[in-house]
Structure 1
Amino acid sequence: MEKRKPALLYLGNRLQKHGKNPTGVDFLGDQLQAWGYRLTRGSAQKNKALRFLHMHLLLWKSFRQRPLVLIDTYSSLNFWFAVSIALNCRLLRLKYICILRGGLLENRLQNSSFWCRTLFGKASANVALSDFLAQRFALYNYSTQVIPNGFSIEDYAFKSRNNFVPKLLWVRSFAEIYDPLLAVKVLEALYQDYPQAELCMVGPWDDLAYPACKAYAERHNLPVRFTGKLSKAAWHQLAKDYSVFINTTRIDNTPMSVMEAMALGLAVVSTDVGGIPALVEQDRHALLVPSQNLKAFYQAICRSINEPEATRARCLAARAKAERLDWSVIKNKWEELLLNV
């Protein structure tokens, strides 16, 4: 007899309509609905305090349906959102699953051990998006199930490139942890040897990082294009005009933008922080460099340009890796968890 799908309540930051990038509650939530789950999700409140209250209101309004609660769990302020939601789930005798998305969650394991036991120790399951976080959680005696971020590979048209030119694409929010200014400085270094070099930066302008990048580019007369936030289809189309995708982040887990770049056929040069080495293998799928290392980025990009056959081989391997992250594969792991928790 086929098991009945549980009702789901998915709580996270759903701020896409406010100009932010989509998060798990958006893209995984869409898939859960497509797979036939009865899903309630939130919150889309822009104000943090209102978002906190709205998440709890959704929880209390839906508890009679006995939903299984999914909690996107980050390492910053939203960690406390997750703790509070978990405490209310226990009060209402609802099962909950923590989806581990914060690149600095290990710091919470170290510095907030009591609250981590309250949150992760009482969860019906903890879902790690990469082996990196699973290994870190295991050090603190928490069991996890690894289910990577997924996406629809059919939405990503692979472009095979015969030559790789110094046209760089950066896609992320303009926040300090993603180190966008480093991308501009990488272009500056390349520009000395490659006068045709250029950089396009796609993403919402979150904090002081954007004006700093724009001012630096103008001061040094660098060819940097700032598009702001684009739809997925728009930046996929834009990517056809670029060769190298650079990911300059200082903190990360399993970035969707890197997965998307792999699927599109861009040569990926990324920092080696967090879960990225678990997502891509050095020299096989991408070139990985230390965080905040301008010289290493410059050298890796030059290598991508000057060794086109090796770069093309990495792009093909990266596409094959991305295909293994298609929802058709990831779905089975989620179904097994949700039907048996």
Structure 2
Amino acid sequence: MSRTILYIGNNLSKQSNYKTTLETLSSLLIKEKYTLILSSNKKNKVLRLLDMIFTLLMQKKKLNYVLIDTFSTKNFYFAFIISQLCRFYKIKYLPILHGGNLPFRLDKSSKTSKLIFSNSYKNVAPSNYLKSEFEKRGYDAIYIPNTLEIEKYIFKKREQIKPNLLWVRSFKELYNPTLAIEVLFLIKKEFPSAKLCMVGPEIDNSFNETKKMVNEYDLNDSVKFTGVLPSYKWHKVSELYDVFINTTNFDNTPISVMEAMALGLTIVSTNAGGMPYLINNYEDGILVEKGNPKQMADEIINIIKLNNTNLSSKAREKVENFSWDVVREKWLDILK
């Protein structure tokens, strides 16, 4: 008998050009013969919330489960409203936990968090970091990693690592994009030909701050801004680069880093949030202190000088464990 699932989240891939967890997971579950209803594709947040509520009310009699993408920002309250409606109508709901800042939300909004996460059917943590943080606060959580359709990621073996850096993230203060410019400036002292490509949408003033720093450091000829690129395009762009830098101050297990690992880039990241749960330092990537451009630059310089290609090979091996063939049984087990 087919099971019907309502997946609540930001179904905005057509507007953003980024394939979301919602889109990836729902398409894979459909292949497993589940019936999926998705909400919402409304760009306006108020309309999106209303659409989510309306969809739940209209479909409630046929639903077996509701999956809820749960973040730490304003969308946290979307998850709260939908979860309480599910409780009222006695529908099993599963928050899927996102964002390295979610533990802070648990502490800041403890009563609301308890209503959501203590009454859920399952709390699904895509990283052991969030699983650990939830369990510290008394909530049960099951670890099911974000999945990659690994067969779609062509691994490029870099025979010689060059000072070509790639950054893929939203331009948002939380992700500290200016750190990438500081790192490039330091690397160019050792490798004058070093270059940086930055891929992602403008979210706040950090984009202007980044461009301002490029001008101040006279790096206009060395930094490329592409704006938003769909995944397949930035995957193609990645072939021109060798080192993927992740400069964030808060994180969970970002899909962009997982994708970069699958594509054969060497990962150098801050140790923010869940990153130590994704990257084993000096084994399949390098972790550095948050906000420390010298340490990140020194590590990248060292990788280039030693031509340490083993890191990227080990990273690819790791993310192959995130393929649907490996992850599917965990989902099928809880969505019986």
In the superposition, the TM-score normalised over structure 2's length comes to: 0.96
Deviation (angstroms), 1:215: 2.5
Distance 1:285 1:11, change over 3 A: same
Find the partner of 2:97 among 97, 100, 103: 100
SS in 1 for 2:224: strand
Root-mean-square deviation over aligned CA pairs: 1.2
Match of 1:69 in 2: 66
Match of 1:225 in 2: 224
Residue 220 of structure 1 and its aligned partner are, at CA, apart by 2.4
| Runs of 4 or more consecutive aligned structure 1 residues displaced over 3 Å after TM superposition | none
Partner of 1:276: 275
- Cα distance in 2 for partners of 1:220, 1:136 equals 40
Between 296-305 and 211-220, report the one with greater CA deviation: 211-220
Aligned to 2:118: 121
Unaligned 5+ segments in structure 2 are none
Please report how far the alpha carbon of residue 90 of structure 1 lies from its aligned counterpart in structure 2 after TM superposition. 1.1
Aligned-residue sequence identity (percent) comes to 41
Confirm or deny: 8 A CA contact 1:74 1:103 kept in the other structure: no
Opposite residue 212 of structure 1, the aligned amino acid is E
Give the gaps of 5 or more residues in structure 1: none
Residue 264 of structure 2: aligned partner: 265
What is residue 109 of structure 1 aligned with on the other side?
106
Whether contact under 8 Å (2:18, 2:229) holds in the other structure is no
Conserved? CA contact 2:6–2:63, under 8 Å: no
Corresponding residue number in structure 1 for 2:202: 205
Aligned length: 334
Question: How far apart are the structure 2 equivalents of 1:65 and 1:106?
Answer: 33
Secondary structure of the corresponding residue to residue 240 of structure 1? helix
Q: How does 1:292-303 map to 2 (within 5 A)?
A: 292-303=291-302
Query: What residue is the counterpart of 1:174 in the other structure?
Result: 171
- 1:241, distance to aligned residue in structure 2 (A): 0.9
Matched-pair contact (CA < 8 Å) for 2:19–2:230: no
Instruction: Please tell me the residue identity of whatever aligns with 2:9.
Output: G
Question: Normalization by structure 1: what TM-score?
Answer: 0.95
Bigger mean CA deviation after superposition, 325-334 or 118-127: 325-334
* 1:1-341 map, 5 Å: 4-19=1-16, 21-222=18-219, 223-308=222-307, 311-339=308-336
Deviation string, structure 1 residues 206-255 (Cα, Å, up to 9, x no partner): 22122221222133221110011112121111111111000011111111
CA distances 1:135-163 after superposition (whole Å, capped 9, x unpaired): 11111111111000011111111111121
Task: Confirm or deny: 8 A CA contact 1:5 1:37 kept in the other structure.
Answer: yes
Going from structure 1 to structure 2, the CA distance change for 1:66 and 1:162 (only over 3 Å counts) comes to closer
The offset of 1:5, in angstroms, is 4.0
> How far, CA to CA, are the matches of 2:312 and 2:63 in structure 1?
46
Secondary structure of the residue aligned to 2:309 is helix
C-alpha separation in 2, matches of 1:184 and 1:21? 24
